[in-house]
Amino acid sequence: MKRNSRVGSWFTPGLIGLHAFAIVAVVFCVVMGLWQAGVYDDRQAHEQADKRAVPQVALTDLWEPDGPFLKTYNHRPVTFEGEFEPADQQIWVTDKEQDGRTGAWLLAPVQVEGGDTMLVLRGWAPEPGAFPSVPSGTVTLDAVLEPGEKNAGAFDATSRTIGSVRIPTLINEMPYDLYSGYAINTDPALSGGLDLVPPPLPEDVSWTVGLKNLAYALQWWVFGLFAAFMWWRMSSETRAASRAKVSSTS
């Protein structure tokens, strides 16, 4: 009987309204928090889709000769026309892994029509060897831009090898006005029989994209916890006051 009275004390007319208000407040805060979290997820998904669905553009419309490599050029698909320089001007870039094997990249200088000379990564070979022939005349290239590598790599003029695509080093070693980045060829017909090198995927979107919505979601959930705390406190105080009143009259 005593237990039933304790349970019944939670459902007095004065507390039923408080319970209803607390339920509505907590549910509202949870739903609003989930909505803001969903907006955050949508922002992340849209940003990633924008990065992966970048349209191909003409290189000379995007990048002016002698211009720096901008962040927006990174992983950018481009197309351009140009002529390959002689085959003996190509360079092997050593210690490059592909499909679990270590080999070499083949870089070829291409004089871009209306621009500077672009170093084009034609493909990958298991080891450096004789340079494959280059296409003759003007060709159209489809490629993906990359900023060049920061790893130090000395250029060996005898074997025409280098340890990385270090543009500042190659500018001093080659008789061309080079772009400050290079391009990964995506056309098998221009690979010289080598394996194509898959361009790197765009970087993952930073978790800070849509951070305001994530903060709003957390804020709503904190409000919900606060509402639950206030419900517990007010209910406990009301029940305590009711018990004290009963005790004083008995």
The better pLDDT of the pair 2, 114 is held by 114
Backbone angles phi, psi at 154, to 5 degrees: -75, 145
**Residue 39 in this model has a pLDDT that exceeds 90:** no
Global pTM reads 0.64
Confidence of residue 51 (pLDDT cuts 50, 70, 90): low
Looking at residue 117, what is its pLDDT?
95
pLDDT value of residue 112? 95
pLDDT tens track for 217-248: 999 999 999 989 988 888 888 777 776 665 66
Average pLDDT value for residue range 96-115: 94
Residue 48 pLDDT greater than 80, yes or no: no
Higher pLDDT, residue 54 or 23: 23
Kindly report, residue by residue over 179-231, the tens digit of the pLDDT: 999 999 999 999 999 999 998 876 666 777 778 888 989 999 999 999 899 88
Confidence of residue 96 (pLDDT cuts 50, 70, 90): very high
SS3 of the chain: the string is: CHHHHHHHHHHCHHHHHHHHHHHHHHHHHHHHHHHHHHHHHHHHHHHHHHHHCCCCEEHHHHCCCCCCCCHHHCCCEEEEEEEECCHHHCEEEEEEEECCEEEEEEEEEEEECCCCEEEEEEEEECCCCCCCCCCCCEEEEEEEEECCCCCCCCCECCCCEECCCCHHHHHHHCCCCEEEEEEEECCHHHCCCCECCCCCCCCCCCCCCCHHHHHHHHHHHHHHHHHHHHHHHHHHHHHHHHHHHHHHHC
Q: Tens of pLDDT along 65-89?
A: 888 999 889 889 999 999 999 999 9
pLDDT at 41: 85
